[in-house]
Amino acid sequence: MTRETEISAKKGTLRTRFTVHPSSAIFILAKNSAACSMASSTEITVAKGSTLETSGGQTAGMARQNALVGLSDQLCGSLMIAQPHTSSGIHHHGSQDTIVYAVSGRGAIVSAGGKVTNVLEPGDWALIPAGAEHQEANAGDEEVVWVIVRGGNVPQVHNTEGWSK
């Protein structure tokens, strides 16, 4: 199944294509080369918070907003907002290392087959190595907001049918 979404900003529209492979539950994001191009090495790009829109492939109660996606060969950045008492599905990010910065709320990254829970509070950082299965969780009564930076120009999300280890 292919679903196209548009992310609009003040200076134009970025078209992304989400391809879903039902048998493996892998989401692949690809930028439309006609709609956007990589920023030059000397051009500074700013994504205003007021222009961010929720991207596709969401877990109920958790919104991911692309901020700087498809603009660099090496990095992409987004915002994750988790409503109280929600958790993502178990997943990994393929070949991409992921850095998480906790902006607000008290959330957790569950890993190691569900046996390890790392709680993040405002100001905390986490590194999720490429391929590490994990789950984001908000067991609290307030919204959780995290900044997410990944090694790659668009986020890779590989959902699993449970813990493999």
Q: What CATH number does the domain containing 113 carry? A: 2.60.120.10
Mean pLDDT calculated for residue range 23-39: 37
Is residue 69 one of the residues assigned to a domain?
Answer: yes
Q: What is the distance of C-alpha 1 from the center of its chain? A: 20
Residue 12 phi/psi, 5° resolution? 145, -170
Are the CB atoms for 31 and 155 separated by under 8 Å? no
Cβ neighbours of residue 31 closer than 8 Å, sequence gap 6 or more = 14, 15, 16, 17, 69, 70, 153, 154
Amino acid at 155: P
Q: What is the DSSP letter of 17?
A: E
Which tens digits make up the pLDDT trace of 114-130?
999 999 999 999 999 99
Which tens digits make up the pLDDT trace of 61-98?
899 999 999 999 999 999 999 999 999 999 999 999 99
Mean pLDDT calculated for residue range 91-117: 97
Is residue 27 one of the residues assigned to a domain?
Answer: no
Query: How far is residue 146's CA from residue 134's CA, in Å, rounded to a whole number?
Result: 15
Is residue 145 one of the residues assigned to a domain?
Answer: yes
Is residue 66 one of the residues assigned to a domain?
Answer: yes
Domain span at residue 135 reads 52-159
What is the model's pTM? Answer: 0.74
What residues does 12 pair with on adjacent strands? 9
What residues does 13 pair with on adjacent strands? 8
Is residue 118 one of the residues assigned to a domain?
Answer: yes
Number of domains in the chain: 1
